Amino acid sequence: MMNSVLPFTVEQAAMATEYCQGFTDGISPGMQETWEWTRENFDDADKMSSLLQGATNKFLAQILQPKRILEIGSYSGFSALAWYEATTKQQAEIITLEIEQRMIDATKRTIERNNMQDRVTLIEGPAQDALKTLEGTFDIIFVDADKEGYEGYVRTVLDRKLLSPNGIIICDNVFSRGLAIDTNAGPHLRKDLVPYWIECGKAMRKLNEFCKNDSRIDSLVLPLYDGMSILKWKHDTDMAPSFLPLNSGSPASKLCNDVLLLQMPIEIPAEWKRKIESKYPGIEIRSRVLRLELGLEANKIEPELWKGVTLACLYLTHPEELMSNVRFIQLTSAGVDRWIHHERYKSPEVAISTASGIHCPQIAEWVISTWIMRNHNLLRHIESQKQGHWSTVRAETRDSAGMRIGILGYGSVGRQCARLATAMGMEVYAYTRTPYTSDKKAKSAHYSVPGMGDPQGQLPAKWFHGESRDAVNEFLRQDLDLLVLCLPLTKATEYLLGAEQFDILAQGKKRTFVSNVARGKLIRTEALVDALHQGKIWGAAVDVTDPEPLPESHPLFSAPNVVITPHVSWQSVNNWDRMLDILETNLDRLDKGEELINVPDRKLGY
């Protein structure tokens, strides 16, 4: 066949339509009813897709299996119904845009009649506005509104990368009843409509020229119905969100229908997103930057962005109803305190992982640096420096060689403290809740920064364990030079160090330096202040306090030999790369159906 279009007369075209419909599946009773009802109620019902076109859209969607569809131009909701029926398997989300009130009402009728409320959202108003605020990507975008608007819609979709890597844009009516091709090509048109369709035709020619020349996309214009063009990202451009290897033959990822939402204090690097999208074809990634300095209110995530989210990486809790589909939460904090009352956290169906391990290099450095500040009298020297005079202080100065560090809580932070202390010639005593046996399990299930810590538990010279206060007191009797608190705050560990424990430390042969990098409530603050004033301890460094923040002029500020920092020991520019490493490891494990890393014990609360 030389031409792609048969030279049908109007009568022959009607017969061909009937012929095709007769042999076509997918025109459901609901579609038939909506179509008939629209024809009976609206004079301009020719704006609606034909039954065969509805079936075509449905057929295409069944092959492409989109998870999100955007329709620009609902009219009476007939095409939205076709998208809806085609996507029951994957429960796709469908957003349809409509500006005209009578068509908004008609679409609402179709949505209600066909019970589409669960997955179809009708956004009322100009499509131009909606397109500026929509988030995420869509696998099918059906452009079927005002013809002059098409080029702008397509440009916005491409510029804002609203089209998913393997998604398609379908533009309907690109022939404009034939007048886009030739202004004489519509002899069958009603005379009064000719000027309108001539204008539409001009807009369509401009659209087609834009699409053909835009280096980001491939364009296919088909002589179907009133002309239909299909657009997709070019596969050799880096303009698209990312590309999936076509026909790679690799088995489908288990995450292919997942939507991952991240809220972290950084923009998620495009490179990381691309890597994840190509590892798990089909996964959709959405993100919001966390700006805690703006307060909780400013960090709410709009319901729109929560739709379909199954995997989340979060610091803050969000309303349970928005998170109802979430099956995995990667917390960006090492602790779970914020989450323990949240339904999603409590649900056994939801997998949880923490950020434990990402902070240990810097926290251990904080412990050692504050210890050195005290031993070398740096606080006093700095004070003199600030006053502009050569310090005359010649106080007792210590070095760490041969000293003993006692680490209460031998997790990732404790292990890195042990590593640094060992390098300085210290002896390590470690305290754990349960008896230390082998580290194999911890090693496979917990994140540690490569080359850091003590993954095999080889550094301690002596191990202690127990859940009782007596067991802890026994540990405190071990003549410790440096005592580091790096254990979680639970009911059992609350106020672990009070007046009694400072007395125990005072009775030993050494004067202990107490360092708290865990939680303020592990220590009774009044008892610490007393111990410092009475010289029961060599000094203290606290990055966490009770209360926190420490109120202005609190007695702890003016106690001797204490270093206080405002809960900052965890900070480092490297945190977020490490966080994304943990998340990636867990996505790998979810994909392979393996046990996750950094899974907290929900009963113990850490």
- The span from the first CA to the last CA of the chain, in angstroms, equals 71
Piece of the chain touching ligand SAM by CB under 6 A; list 42-50, 349-357, 397-405, 485-493: 42-50
Nearest to 317, CA basis, from 293, 301, 334, 294? 301
**Cα–Cα distance measured from residue 85 to residue 404, given in angstroms and rounded to the nearest whole number:** 70
DSSP conformational letter for 214: -
**Cα–Cα distance measured from residue 368 to residue 417, given in angstroms and rounded to the nearest whole number:** 7
Residue of the chain from 61, 86, 94, 99 that contacts ligand SAM (CB under 6 A): 99
Burial group, residue 9, by CB count within 10 angstroms (0-12, 13-18, 19+): exposed
The residue number with the shortest CB distance to ligand SAM is: 73
Nearest distance in Å: CB 362, ligand SAM: 52
Looking at the Cβ atoms of 47 and 232, the one nearer to ligand SAM is 47
Q: Which residues touch 467 (CB under 8 Å, ≥6 apart)?
A: 433, 492
Looking at the Cβ atoms of 107 and 242, the one nearer to ligand SAM is 107
Break the chain down into helix, strand, coil percent, rounded to 5: 40, 15, 45
Nearest distance in Å: CB 49, ligand SAM: 3
Token readout for 507 is: 């009775």
Residue of the chain from 30, 49, 163, 268 that contacts ligand SAM (CB under 6 A): 49
Nearest distance in Å: CB 17, ligand SAM: 16
Count how many Cα atoms sit within 13 Å of the Cα of residue 71 in the half-sphere of its side chain.
29
State the number of binding residues for ligand SAM (CB under 6 A). Answer: 19
Of residues 162 through 201, those in contact with ligand SAM by CB under 6 A are none
Looking at the Cβ atoms of 127 and 580, the one nearer to ligand SAM is 127
Q: What would the x/- binding string for ligand SAM be over residues 115 to 154, using CB under 6 A?
A: -----------xx----------------xxx--x-----
Nearest distance in Å: CB 179, ligand SAM: 16
Residue of the chain from 45, 65, 100, 588 that contacts ligand SAM (CB under 6 A): 100
Looking at the Cβ atoms of 29 and 249, the one nearer to ligand SAM is 29
**Cα–Cα distance measured from residue 480 to residue 59, given in angstroms and rounded to the nearest whole number:** 74
Piece of the chain touching ligand SAM by CB under 6 A; list 94-102, 114-122, 203-211, 562-570: 94-102
Residues 292, 298, 304, CA angle at the centre, nearest 5°? Answer: 120
Looking at the Cβ atoms of 79 and 412, the one nearer to ligand SAM is 79
Name the residue type at position 57.
N
Residue of the chain from 70, 86, 97, 527 that contacts ligand SAM (CB under 6 A): 97
Nearest distance in Å: CB 43, ligand SAM: 13
Contact 168, 64 (CB under 8 A): yes
Piece of the chain touching ligand SAM by CB under 6 A; list 43-51, 270-278, 340-348, 416-424: 43-51
Token readout for 118 is: 């669960």
Q: What would the x/- binding string for ligand SAM be over residues 69 to 88, using CB under 6 A?
A: ----xxx--xx---------
Residues present in the chain in total: 606
Looking at the Cβ atoms of 47 and 398, the one nearer to ligand SAM is 47
Count how many Cα atoms sit within 13 Å of the Cα of residue 333 in the half-sphere of its side chain.
15
Q: Would you state the torsion angle of the CA atoms of residues 394, 395, 400, 401, taken in this order, to the nearest 10 degrees? A: 70
Q: List residues near ligand SAM by CB under 6 A.
A: 47-49, 73-75, 78-79, 97-100, 103, 126-127, 144-146, 149
